[in-house]
């Protein structure tokens, strides 16, 4: 969990998000251009981001808010 209970997340989580974003941008340009190699490369980068997410255990970075007391 991130220090201090912040919802901002840790740097490792943001690295995974950035890699996935780059992959989706590459694939997003390749698809309308009809460039299947570019689309496949973008999809491969997104797959790398998924593997990084598992390796970095980014789901352990999730902060669950405490519900307010009634």
How does pLDDT run across 20-36, given as a tens digit for each residue?
999 999 999 999 999 99
Helices and strands (H and E) in the chain: how many: 2, 0
- The pTM (predicted TM-score) of the whole model is 0.76
CA angle 22/16/52 to nearest 5° reads 115
How does pLDDT run across 48-65, given as a tens digit for each residue?
999 999 999 988 877 777
């Amino acid at each position: 969990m991130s220090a201090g209970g912040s919802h901002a997340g840790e740097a490792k989580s943001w690295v995974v998000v950035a890699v996935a974003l780059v992959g989706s941008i590459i694939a997003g340009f390749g698809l309308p251009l009809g460039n299947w190699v570019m689309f496949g490369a973008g999809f491969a980068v997104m797959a790398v981001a998924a593997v990084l997410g598992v390796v970095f255990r980014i789901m352990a970075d999730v902060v669950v808010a405490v519900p307010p007391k009634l």
